[in-house]
Chains A and B, each alone.
Chain A
Amino acid sequence: MRAERHGRQRMRGWRAQGIPAPEQTSVAQLVWLLLLITVVSAPHLRTLPFWISAIIFVAAIWRMGAAFKRWPMPGTILRGTLTLGSALAVGFVYRQISGLEAGSALLLIMLALKLLETHSARDRSLVVLIAWFVLFAAFLREQSLGSVPLLAAGVVAGTVALLQAARNNSQVMTPLAALLLTARLLMHAVPLALALFLLFPRLPGPLWALPSGAQNGRTGLSSQMSPGDITSLAQSSEAAFRVRFDGTPPDRSQLYWRGPVLESFDGRRWRALPDGARRQKSGRPLPPNPADAPVYSYEIMLEPHHQRWLLPLETPLSWDIAAASLSPARELLSARPVATRSAWRGRSVATPRFRDARAPEQATREVSAARNPRSAALAAEMRAAAGSDRAYLRSVLSMFRQQAYYYTLEPPPLGDHPVDDFLFRTRSGFCEHYASAFALLARAAGIPARVVTGYQGGEPNPLADYWIVRQSDAHAWTEVWVDGYWQRYDPTAAVAPQRVDAGMAAALPGSVNTELPLLGSSPWFGRVAFGWDALNAQWDRWVLAFGPDQQSALLGRLGFTSPSLRDLALVCAATVGIILLLFTWLTLRNHGAKPDPLEQSWQYLCKRLARLSRPRKPGEAPTEYAAVLIAAQPELAAPLGSLTALYLRLRYEGIPDRAEVLRFRRLVRQFRLPPAGARG
């Protein structure tokens, strides 16, 4: 306690003279730390509660005040209370203190509080290391191209701050010198990073289990629907996936991207059949039908949606993901949920019907007797009038087209008999309402029918060779089984043909949806937006979607066909090793300092002598060091004196003779430290 007080007084004494004590943090170092904290916390602040930003801000101001205006730093008790209090607050707000969100919050708070007790080099380095952690959390949160500049700034600031923090405060580098050194260090790191990125063994799926927070509220498609679900999707302009066609793409109205197929209907809600409830086995790709329909091959870059649907162009013939399979309802499913950006290639025909001679599932015929009685009556009446199934379906479509049915994204709520309500009362809705009503009318007339959801259309990027399919292109349509064929009917197209021909924005000219980007409203903005999306697509395709498949393809091109994990690890280790050796060689060559035998022996001697009392200080000349040792151990005078003299003679008094150097080396080896008892 006394000693501590003494220490603190000395510290105050230093400060009073306006001199930074050797261990203290200089203003330049502090500024770098604050800059680093600003940069690394920026990506988090958008999602974290306001009070955390406030804590960081107050801590930064306080620390600056302490540096510039000599404000007192908070004492142990206050710091302890703050630490405990904010940890509790985080636990209270998030109900946990780990996980991405809560963990980032906690790290940021601790970073800010650590700033308030930062004096020594060790404290500074600790702050920098925590900041690196926060930066890494930001990377977990967001890996898009847009986040790269800020992450890169964080890496630069982190490196500079680390360089400065580790220095004695009298040796702080000028900003320019520090930045140049950082640039050099990072340049050295680039080849290593590249090698590790390309060659480090990739595991299928994300390398780390993303904390649960990342999945919340991101579901694009669902295995159930009751009219109203898709409204929220329709308002988001986020990309669902991007697709590149080899050759001419099909007409826009043929672009049906097939997602979940909903077969069970209870009169209000559509559901996918669970696998166990099916009679049919898995489907397999059927030959193109009709045989002369054009086959389109394409590559899809899928945004992670944490579901299994791969969203092929209807109807898929083949795909390059081995683990993917076609469900009985002809949904293309990957083996596990799509949790990372991934790319796959497929071939499809864009026909509205395909043959399936198997009897449809019983569920596709079921009509709930308790609900929607008027619809059932209408169906019976119209079927009787039509004469054939096909004629009946056509008459339903023309009913939608000719009577007063409206397309809107903000339909009025529906009551207990939703289809009845829709058909006879509200008469307005969007794709789900029409698909649902059409399928029910078909079933009520005894025709098997199901609802297919997915995306329709897309937007070609004029600056690059691909289409963007957005969440706002989500769609639902109907499939009806007639004469051994599943035939697609899109009742929405009957009501609002523009929806299918030109997209959502064209279908709703009156109700301008403000959340849709105003692409096309200003040509310049449109170009920028498309250019940015094209860049993003490249980033996603080449960087984020680089997974095990792409890696083995790359290695295949290098001559390693189907490498095992062990081969990969070996190739990776070898490449990294070669790069490191190359750097070492370059460094040594540039400095011209091959450690010559004389210098080696001297270093060795110093290392041994260090055990006697203390290591040689960097600026300590040989005789000075020897004098210190001899003062402590007079019996060393003779041997050490002659060794030092010989070393000085060889090193500084002429070009050393090889034999003499060898003699020095021998003498150093023969030199015996005094016995342990004599040390001290």
Chain B
Amino acid sequence: MARNVTALANTDQLQQARQLGEQVNREVGQVILGKQTEIELAFTCLLAGGHLLIEDVPGVGKTLLARALAAVLGLSFRRIQFTSDMLPADIIGMSVYEQDNARFRFHPGPVFAHIVLADEINRSTPKAQSALLEAMEENQVTLDGETHPLPVPFFVIATQNPLHQAGTYPLPESQLDRFLMRLGLGYPAEVLERKLLRGEDRRLLLTDLQPVIDSAGLRTLQAAARELFLSDALLDYVQALVRYTRQSTLFELGLSPRGAQDLVMAARCLALLHGHPGVHPEDVKAVFAAVAGHRLQARPGSAAAVRDPARLVLESVPIP
């Protein structure tokens, strides 16, 4: 098929990647009904080595999604329930003095896991939040001058309630930028909700989930994603999108260079999961809302403050 094309990723790998993507979708889809797009994006985010923020009202399956992903990927999973009286030590761990050998010993906190679910992150104080965010940024924890690396891959799924709920400390923009994607789950469709009501508890299904890939396989996939072909036409498109967010009067603040990098990386991973040898504009469009949505700040009173700003951008920027 790609005979006449200088493809960088080989065909078998692409085939595998696509099958794997479908498998993850299918498995996780058994637990979370009717959220194929979100599942795929979450997996893409993980593959791209970024962290995921899920923002929605309680009870739509945020936690379930995180657990299901961990299960199918065969990775260790820890959950941190954020509360308002939480301290950084509750997240990263602490040094405890041991009388036996008269030394401090580090007791790792719950953050030391492959997949960490930071539940309701906006309910804790900024101090505790930043402890986690630092760990996300550095991929390591430093305590008393000692550095403790976090496991690889390290993937944080943070959930937060919509900001206007009482007793919350919303994440500042600079910290939102640390998350590769932000997703909302939304309510299930009527038909699916009926199925949900009729069926057994979804949590029980979690135990049935079989790992479809190990961390070595994940690394291979990530390497393949980095080798996908990026055409000039596609980079033109990405730059046009970024330029638009910076120049338009719709936004106070456009996409940062990091945001642009994240956009390309996410699009690469999605393209890989679709089995494309190169990144298509469709891939960029598919991840754009999730990658850019939380980084764009709509100017008050502009159309973007009301309508979906990411869609406004996608509709306005022509595909070259």
Contact = CB atoms under 8 A, between A and B. Distances in A.
A92 B23 CA distance: 84
Interface string A166-205: 0001111110010000000000000000000000000000
A299 B247 CA distance: 56
A675 interface: no
B280 A621 contact: yes
Interface stretch (A2-10, A12-20, A96-104): A12-20
Given A17-B306, A170-B312, A171-B248, A653 B318 contact: no
Contacts of B7: 653-654
B11 to A, nearest CB: 11
Given A619-B318, A621-B281, A654 B234 contact: no
B285 interface: yes
Given A171-B248, A619-B317, A653 B302 contact: no
A623 interface: yes
Interface string B216-260: 000000000000010101100000000000011110000000000
B13 to A, nearest CB: 14
Contacts of B247: 173, 177
Interface residues of B, number: 35
Interface stretch (A63-71, A106-114, A268-276, A644-652): A644-652
Interface residues of A, number: 33
A650 B282 CA distance: 15
Given A651-B231, A654-B277, A654-B278, A170 B303 contact: yes
A648 B319 CA distance: 12
B207 interface: no
B318 A657 contact: no
A654 B315 contact: no
A657 B5 CA distance: 7
A653 B5 contact: yes
A649 B248 contact: no
A435 B229 CA distance: 97
B2 interface: yes
B101 interface: no
Nearest to B250: A170
A660 B2 CA distance: 11
A624 interface: yes
A652 B317 contact: no
Given A173-B249, A651-B233, A652-B233, A618 B316 contact: yes
A172 B249 contact: yes
A624 B281 CA distance: 10
A656 B249 contact: no
Nearest to A616: B319
A654 B10 CA distance: 12
A368 B191 CA distance: 118
Interface string B272-288: 00001111111001000
A654 B319 contact: no
B301 A18 contact: yes
B132 to A, nearest CB: 36
A299 to B, nearest CB: 53
Contacts of A650: 5
Contacts of A304: none
Contacts of B5: 649-650, 653-657, 660
A171 B2 CA distance: 41
B229 A621 contact: no
B6 interface: yes
Contacts of B2: 649, 653-654
Nearest to A173: B249
A277 interface: no
Contacts of B278: 649, 652-654
A665 to B, nearest CB: 15
Interface of B: 2, 4-8, 229, 231, 233-234, 247-250, 276-282, 285, 301-306, 312, 314-319
21 contacts: A18-B301, A19-B306, A170-B250, A171-B249, A173-B247, A174-B249, A177-B247, A618-B317, A621-B319, A622-B281, A650-B5, A652-B233, A652-B279, A652-B280, A653-B229, A653-B231, A653-B276, A654-B6, A654-B229, A654-B278, A660-B4
Interface of A: 17-20, 22, 28, 169-174, 177, 617-624, 648-657, 659-660
